[in-house]
Amino acid sequence: MAYYSSNAVPCANWYDSAKVGILHDLLRSVAKTRASVLEIGGGSGRDAAYLVRLGCETTYTDGCEEMVAKALHLHPELAERARCAPFPLSDDDDLLCERFDLVLCAAVIMHLDDPNLERLASQVARLIVDGGHLVLSHSRGHQCGRDSRDSDGRLFLERTPAIVDEIFDAVGFREVRLIENSDGLGRDGITWTTHVLQKMP
C-alpha cells in the first residue's frame, strides 16, 4: 500500500482517465437499479461514481487513506458511503456484517499474495447475498523482477483465469462470464481478464 499512499494524487488522476467502456457495459448488465454494491480497491472512485449514476446504493472502499481522500475530492457524491478498507479485513470489521448484491474488485488482486487472496475470497463470499455477483479483474504483462515486484516495489502476482476461478469456486462461486481485453490506460503488453462470478445458494 506504500506506493499508493505516496502516489495517490497522480495515480487517481490517471485512473480516472482510463477507457473503461467494456467494464461499464458489464456493470450495467449485472447491476440492477437500487442494488447494493461494494467496491473494493476503488482507486479514484471512477467506477463507484458510475454505479451511483446507475442508481445503485454504492459503498466505495479502498485500502489506502490517501486514495480515499483523493477519490472523494474527484467524486464527492461517494462521501456518504466511503471508507478505508484494506482487504482482507480484520475478522471483527463491521463491514463484514453487511450484505451486497454486487461486489466490484478491479485491478487489485495482483497486489495480494495467495493466503491474502484466499482470505479476501472467503470474505467476499460472506459479503455477497446468494445469487449475487462478483466482478473481478486482474492483469498480466507488468514488467517485474523475479520477486514479482515492479521497480516501485508493488507486488504483481499474475494468475491464470483458471487459477482465479479455482480460488473463488472453492468458496461457492461459479463463473458466468469471462472477458479478455486490452489496457484501458493504453499500455503496450498489458492485458486484463474480467470475471463475472455468481454466488451459488
Ligand X SMILES: C[S@@+](CC[C@H](N)C(=O)[O-])C[C@H]1O[C@@H](n2cnc3c(N)ncnc32)[C@H](O)[C@@H]1O
Interface residues with ligand X (CB under 6 A) are 1, 4, 15, 40-43, 46, 62-64, 67, 86-87, 106-108, 111-112
For residue 120, with 0-12 CB atoms within 10 Å meaning exposed, 13-18 middle and 19 or more buried, which class applies?
A: buried
Beta carbon of residue 201, minimum distance to ligand X (angstroms, whole number):
27
Nearer residue to ligand X within complex by CB, 24 or 177: 24
Nearer residue to ligand X within complex by CB, 115 or 201: 115
Find the helix or strand (DSSP H, E) in which 169 lies. Answer: helix 161-169
Beta carbon of residue 63, minimum distance to ligand X (angstroms, whole number):
3
**Helix and strand numbers, DSSP H then E, in the chain:** 7, 7
Nearer residue to ligand X within complex by CB, 43 or 132: 43
Looking up cell 449485472, which residue turns up? 30
Beta carbon of residue 134, minimum distance to ligand X (angstroms, whole number):
14
Q: Of 132, 140, 143, nearest to 161 (Cα)?
A: 140
Beta carbon of residue 34, minimum distance to ligand X (angstroms, whole number):
23
Nearer residue to ligand X within complex by CB, 147 or 201: 147
Which cell numbers hold the place of 166?
Answer: 479455482
Spell out the residues 6+ positions from residue 199 whose beta carbon is closer than 8 angstroms to its own.
125, 128, 129, 130, 131, 132, 133, 134, 172, 173
Q: Which regions of the chain does DSSP assign to beta strands (E)?
A: 36-40, 57-62, 82-84, 100-106, 128-140, 173-182, 191-199
Nearer residue to ligand X within complex by CB, 36 or 194: 194
Phi, psi at 33, each rounded to 5°: -55, 135
Beta carbon of residue 45, minimum distance to ligand X (angstroms, whole number):
9
Nearer residue to ligand X within complex by CB, 4 or 173: 4
Work out the angle at residue 48's Cα, subtended by the Cα atoms of residues 44 and 50, and round it to the nearest 5 degrees: 105
- Which residue sits closest to ligand X, CB atoms considered? 43
Beta carbon of residue 164, minimum distance to ligand X (angstroms, whole number):
16
